[in-house]
Amino acid sequence: MVRAFVHNAGGPGQKTPLGCYFYGTEGTFRLGWRDGWTFYPADFLEAVRNKRRAVCDIEIGYRSTAMSLLGMLSMKLGRSIRWDGEKEIVPGDAQANTLLARPYRKPWDYPKA
Protein backbone atom coordinates (compact mmCIF):
# COMPACT_ATOMS: atom_id res chain seq x y z
CA MET A 1 0.00 0.00 0.00
CA VAL A 2 1.32 3.41 -0.92
CA ARG A 3 0.70 6.14 1.59
CA ALA A 4 0.78 9.61 0.13
CA PHE A 5 -0.31 13.13 0.75
CA VAL A 6 -1.20 15.66 -1.90
CA HIS A 7 -0.84 19.40 -2.17
CA ASN A 8 -1.44 21.89 -4.91
CA ALA A 9 1.59 22.90 -6.92
CA GLY A 10 2.93 26.40 -6.53
CA GLY A 11 4.21 26.02 -3.00
CA PRO A 12 7.83 26.48 -1.91
CA GLY A 13 10.25 24.71 -4.23
CA GLN A 14 7.62 23.94 -6.88
CA LYS A 15 8.39 25.12 -10.41
CA THR A 16 4.85 25.22 -11.79
CA PRO A 17 1.79 26.89 -10.24
CA LEU A 18 -0.83 24.50 -11.66
CA GLY A 19 -1.18 20.83 -10.79
CA CYS A 20 -0.57 18.70 -7.73
CA TYR A 21 2.18 16.65 -6.13
CA PHE A 22 1.70 13.19 -4.59
CA TYR A 23 4.41 12.34 -2.07
CA GLY A 24 4.45 8.62 -1.36
CA THR A 25 6.59 5.83 0.01
CA GLU A 26 7.71 4.84 -3.51
CA GLY A 27 8.57 8.33 -4.78
CA THR A 28 7.03 11.64 -5.82
CA PHE A 29 4.49 12.01 -8.62
CA ARG A 30 3.75 15.44 -10.10
CA LEU A 31 0.59 15.82 -12.15
CA GLY A 32 0.57 19.04 -14.14
CA TRP A 33 -2.45 20.82 -15.50
CA ARG A 34 -1.16 21.47 -19.03
CA ASP A 35 2.38 20.15 -18.98
CA GLY A 36 1.93 16.43 -18.31
CA TRP A 37 3.36 14.47 -15.42
CA THR A 38 6.69 13.49 -13.87
CA PHE A 39 7.56 10.66 -11.50
CA TYR A 40 10.66 10.76 -9.29
CA PRO A 41 11.16 7.22 -7.92
CA ALA A 42 12.30 6.75 -4.33
CA ASP A 43 15.66 5.28 -5.44
CA PHE A 44 16.41 8.54 -7.29
CA LEU A 45 15.49 10.68 -4.29
CA GLU A 46 17.57 8.44 -2.01
CA ALA A 47 20.55 8.73 -4.38
CA VAL A 48 20.29 12.54 -4.31
CA ARG A 49 20.11 12.57 -0.51
CA ASN A 50 23.10 10.20 -0.18
CA LYS A 51 25.11 11.79 -3.02
CA ARG A 52 25.41 8.53 -4.97
CA ARG A 53 24.63 7.46 -8.52
CA ALA A 54 20.96 6.68 -9.17
CA VAL A 55 19.83 3.30 -10.52
CA CYS A 56 18.90 4.89 -13.86
CA ASP A 57 21.04 8.01 -14.07
CA ILE A 58 21.61 10.48 -16.88
CA GLU A 59 24.35 8.40 -18.51
CA ILE A 60 21.98 5.46 -18.94
CA GLY A 61 19.44 7.82 -20.51
CA TYR A 62 22.12 9.14 -22.83
CA ARG A 63 23.17 5.65 -23.91
CA SER A 64 19.52 4.67 -24.43
CA THR A 65 18.79 7.57 -26.78
CA ALA A 66 22.11 7.88 -28.65
CA MET A 67 21.18 5.47 -31.46
CA SER A 68 17.91 7.20 -32.30
CA LEU A 69 19.64 10.61 -32.23
CA LEU A 70 22.37 9.30 -34.54
CA GLY A 71 19.65 7.93 -36.84
CA MET A 72 18.07 11.39 -37.01
CA LEU A 73 21.52 12.90 -37.70
CA SER A 74 21.99 10.47 -40.59
CA MET A 75 18.56 11.33 -41.93
CA LYS A 76 19.27 15.07 -41.69
CA LEU A 77 22.53 14.62 -43.59
CA GLY A 78 20.86 12.36 -46.15
CA ARG A 79 23.56 9.71 -45.86
CA SER A 80 25.00 7.01 -43.62
CA ILE A 81 27.41 7.85 -40.82
CA ARG A 82 29.94 5.80 -38.81
CA TRP A 83 29.92 6.28 -35.02
CA ASP A 84 32.92 5.84 -32.73
CA GLY A 85 31.24 5.16 -29.38
CA GLU A 86 34.47 5.41 -27.38
CA LYS A 87 35.42 8.85 -28.70
CA GLU A 88 31.77 9.87 -29.24
CA ILE A 89 32.48 11.32 -32.69
CA VAL A 90 31.77 10.55 -36.32
CA PRO A 91 35.34 9.88 -37.55
CA GLY A 92 36.46 11.93 -40.55
CA ASP A 93 33.14 13.77 -40.87
CA ALA A 94 33.40 17.40 -39.79
CA GLN A 95 29.86 18.21 -40.99
CA ALA A 96 28.29 15.44 -38.89
CA ASN A 97 30.43 16.29 -35.84
CA THR A 98 29.33 19.93 -36.05
CA LEU A 99 25.72 18.77 -35.76
CA LEU A 100 26.39 16.72 -32.59
CA ALA A 101 26.03 19.83 -30.45
CA ARG A 102 24.36 23.20 -30.67
CA PRO A 103 25.36 26.64 -29.41
CA TYR A 104 24.41 27.37 -25.82
CA ARG A 105 22.74 30.57 -24.66
CA LYS A 106 25.03 32.99 -22.86
CA PRO A 107 26.37 32.78 -20.18
CA TRP A 108 26.30 28.97 -20.51
CA ASP A 109 29.12 27.21 -22.33
CA TYR A 110 29.65 23.62 -23.44
CA PRO A 111 32.51 22.08 -21.45
CA LYS A 112 35.59 21.39 -23.58
CA ALA A 113 37.24 17.98 -23.15
Q: Note the pLDDT of residue 90.
A: 95
Q: pTM of the entire structure?
A: 0.49
Those residues whose C-beta lies under 8 Å from the C-beta of residue 98, and which sit 6 or more positions away, are none
Q: Note the pLDDT of residue 41.
A: 76
Q: Of 92, 88, 94, give the one whose Cα is nearest residue 69.
A: 88
Percent of the chain with pLDDT over 70: 81
Q: Note the pLDDT of residue 113.
A: 59
Amino acid at 76: K
Q: Residue 86: left if φ>0, alpha if ψ -120 to 50, beta else—which one? A: alpha
Q: What's the CA gap between 53 and 43, in Å, rounded? A: 10
Mean pLDDT for all residues in the chain: 79
